Structure 1
Amino acid sequence: MPTMNEEAGIRECIERVRTAVQASGYHTEVIISDDSTDRTPEIARELGAIVVEPDQPGYGYAYRYAFERCRGDYIVIGDADTTYDFEQFPTLLDPVVNGDADIVMGSRLNGEIKPGAMPALHQYIGNPLLTKFLNTFYDAGVSDAHSGYRAFRADVLDELNLETTGMEFASEMIMDAGARDMTIEEIPITYHEREGDATLESFRDGWRHVRFMLLNAPRYLFTIPGTIMGLLGILVLTLAITDITLGGATFGIHTAIAGSLLILVGFQVGSMGTFATIASDPIKRPTDTITEGIMEHLSLERIASLGLIIFLSGALYASWLIIQWAQTGFTQLPMVTGDVVAFTAIVLGVQLVFNAFFMSAVATRDIQRHSPSGNHNGDYLD
């Protein structure tokens, strides 16, 4: 249990564990990962708990610090504010011990939430929305992603790459487990009103969870929006230059400019998905054809060459338009939409060339960071 000034509830939590131990026969240790200024650690020690004091702040760090000091084959975690009924811990632990699940979570939203235990904002909006995000991005398939009452095998921690130090730790564990196709089960639980003052800040901590989920899913944050904008831009620009009418409406220069902007912005946003995948090693790596193709088959030289070809094509087309203009004594402008097409190609080509060098620089640094010898397999934009 991570604690920060939980003297109002710590005694009841530990005594509930004792009651469950006597009924279940499990042999346990209770570890309190404490950062308190009140009597929480003294009370815990009086009741026989092991108290450790993390050398850095943070909810997630408190858990990670304590995990390294656990001696059991299985771990149960939960908050020490009496919101979770620790007499129920064998119910969570049994499926893990029996090999039916890697992680078991207590679902508050599928269970019972006592009056006053959870703010309506969290119960009906915050937790359901955050859970929906997490399930969409990481295929976790859970009903209450931010329940802190969980049981799992200790060796699961060797498979997960848990790095966060703050409240987003609750999301990280389920995100990583879902991305690794671990078996996650849920058991309905009763959620009680807390003892002591709440430390959760709804909007700040909620945003930290959303930000963390998005940054670790570049496909949803960058690749999909970029692809949609790019394809829409191509469609719009094509309508503008082919004089196609829809419902009697024609598309002119303003449509062409809009299409150009969508193509350029879409390309840049989509490129960020590849940058993020290379640089950050996200939990949910993109598996779309474009990103995988760039990562596995395209080198700096190939991307830069493609960019140079597009740039030269645009430059040649722009030169031909200027020649046409000159032949009229600079009195009659050629088709303006042609200018938009030409300069879109020029800018896109320049972006490709410089993005290729930037991706190569990022990939080289990433390889050096993960491999001191600097050896690696495949092109990986080398």
Structure 2
Amino acid sequence: MDPEVTVVLPTMNEEEAISVMLPRIKDVLERMGVSYEIVVVDKSDDRTPEIARNLGARVIRQEGKGYGDAYLTGFKHARGKFIVMMDPDGSYDPEDIPKLLQPLFEGRAEFVMGTRLKGEMDKGAMPWLHRRIGNPLLTWVLNVLFKAGISDAHCGMRAIRKDALERLPLKCKGMEFASEMVIEAAKKGLKTVEVPIKYHPRIGESKLSSFKDGWRHLRLMLLYSPSYLFLLPAVIFVIAGIWFMGYAYILKPERLHTLILGSALLLLGFQILGFGISAKVYAVKEGLEEPGRLTRFFMRYSVLEEGLLVGGLMFVVGLALGLYIFLKWRASGYGALFMIREAVLVLTLTTLGLSVIFFSFFVSIYMLKGED
């Protein structure tokens, strides 16, 4: 008969901590009166796995590497209806396990996050940089981008229903797995609850790399949100480019540098916009994101023909204006010709036209397998 609760513990050279933490975890679960198993996913070269086995844990050797890989391995072997995640280094308190499981038992949540920042934190348990800057900043970015509504995105003590976990397409192998899990839970609409927990100084040496791990979390969040990474700056650049070009071409013809700046911003904005739309279409095709109005528009069969028409018209207009400039130049005997404003417009129109044409082909390539 499968246990009710599985506790997954990732370990790497934790022989000092594991001998202390495993008995405490077992004691808490036995006092709760639930059936349980403890799965230790180990990548140690010390006595950690031996100690864990002797204390009744099921030890799985981690073949890959990384924090996320350890949990992904543990999830595959977990048999419980409810899964508890925590680092076995002494920083998290086993006495908080019932607080995490209670919302799951009562059906009030599918995913429960511990929050150290709203709980009790021992002096020196978390470096000042992490507590006051790194963790709050990254949590704020995650909440802005994904509306997760949590206070401590990188808390490693969590609990989740196994059936809810199976709905999350988790893939990250490194420390960014912590953010990925929260992001996917928010995207899938899991009922999420936060509970305050205690946080203690860890036993043994920390394996965290503050700036490297922080960048990996931020990197993941940006890659998961093409709307903010690509579309928002693209729209700003395009609007600014059109405004500068219109201002310099219509209102202030003498401002050639403003006209050139507007052209550069417009072209740059469109290139970024193309990357953003392509990224969102790719995410939908790979099942990473649900289709929205924008992606549904560009995933239509006719987008190639429409793109060829729009891009072709822009290119032809630019080419016609370029031919007009050439004829004026020839009429002047191929001498000096001061039609820089018109030349910038030719450059902008022809470049935009070709960009639209090739963008339409590029997006349509994504749709080949879906065409009837």
TM, length-normalised to structure 1: 0.90
How many Å apart are 1:332 and its aligned residue?
A: 5.8
Matched, 1:300 2:300: no
Q: Distance in 2 between matches of 1:282 and 1:120?
A: 39
Find the counterpart in structure 2 of residue 157 from structure 1: 165
Matched, 1:127 2:131: no
5 Å-filtered alignment, 1:1-382, equals 1-244=9-252, 252-280=255-283, 281=286, 283=288, 287=292, 290-296=294-300, 298-331=302-335, 333-364=337-368, 367=369, 376=370
Q: Indicate how the Cα distance of structure 1 residues 292 and 231 shifts in structure 2: closer, same or farther if over 3 A, else same.
A: farther
On the 8 A contact 1:307/1:352 being kept in 2, the answer is: yes
Q: Name the SS of the counterpart of 1:104 in structure 2.
A: strand
On the 8 A contact 1:217/1:283 being kept in 2, the answer is: no
On the 8 A contact 1:104/1:152 being kept in 2, the answer is: yes
On the 8 A contact 1:77/1:151 being kept in 2, the answer is: yes
Q: Name the SS of the counterpart of 2:363 in structure 1.
A: helix
On the 8 A contact 1:228/1:266 being kept in 2, the answer is: yes
On the 8 A contact 2:82/2:161 being kept in 1, the answer is: yes
One-letter code of the match for 1:101? Answer: A
Q: Deviations over 1:1-59 (max 9, x none)?
A: 10001112112221221221232212211110000111111111111111111221221
Q: Distance in 1 between matches of 2:322 and 2:118?
A: 63
How many Å apart are 1:286 and its aligned residue?
A: 7.6
Q: Distance in 1 between matches of 2:33 and 2:217?
A: 37
One-letter code of the match for 2:141? Answer: F
Find the counterpart in structure 2 of residue 372 from structure 1: none
Q: Distance in 2 between matches of 1:282 and 1:225?
A: 25
How many Å apart are 1:330 and its aligned residue?
A: 4.0
Which range is displaced more, 81-90 or 328-337? 328-337
Q: Name the SS of the counterpart of 2:16 in structure 1.
A: coil
Q: Name the SS of the counterpart of 1:107 in structure 2.
A: strand
Q: Distance in 2 between matches of 1:290 and 1:92?
A: 39
Q: Distance in 1 between matches of 2:291 and 2:345?
A: 31
Q: Distance in 2 between matches of 1:344 and 1:334?
A: 18
Q: Indicate how the Cα distance of structure 1 residues 211 and 83 shifts in structure 2: closer, same or farther if over 3 A, else same.
A: same
Percent identity over paired residues: 41
On the 8 A contact 1:223/1:270 being kept in 2, the answer is: yes
On the 8 A contact 2:93/2:198 being kept in 1, the answer is: yes
Find the counterpart in structure 2 of residue 371 from structure 1: none
Q: Distance in 2 between matches of 1:312 and 1:46?
A: 78
Q: Deviations over 1:295-325 (max 9, x none)?
A: 3465222212211111111111121222233
How many Å apart are 1:85 and its aligned residue?
A: 0.4
How many Å apart are 1:359 and its aligned residue?
A: 2.3
TM, length-normalised to structure 2: 0.92
One-letter code of the match for 2:73? Answer: Y
Q: Distance in 1 between matches of 2:114 and 2:60?
A: 25
On the 8 A contact 2:142/2:221 being kept in 1, the answer is: yes
Q: Distance in 2 between matches of 1:338 and 1:105?
A: 60
Q: Name the SS of the counterpart of 2:92 in structure 1.
A: coil
Q: Distance in 2 between matches of 1:114 and 1:286?
A: 45
One-letter code of the match for 1:315? Answer: L
One-letter code of the match for 2:303? Answer: S
Q: Indicate how the Cα distance of structure 1 residues 286 and 134 shifts in structure 2: closer, same or farther if over 3 A, else same.
A: farther
One-letter code of the match for 2:186? Answer: G
Which range is displaced more, 299-308 or 260-269? 299-308
One-letter code of the match for 1:333? Answer: L
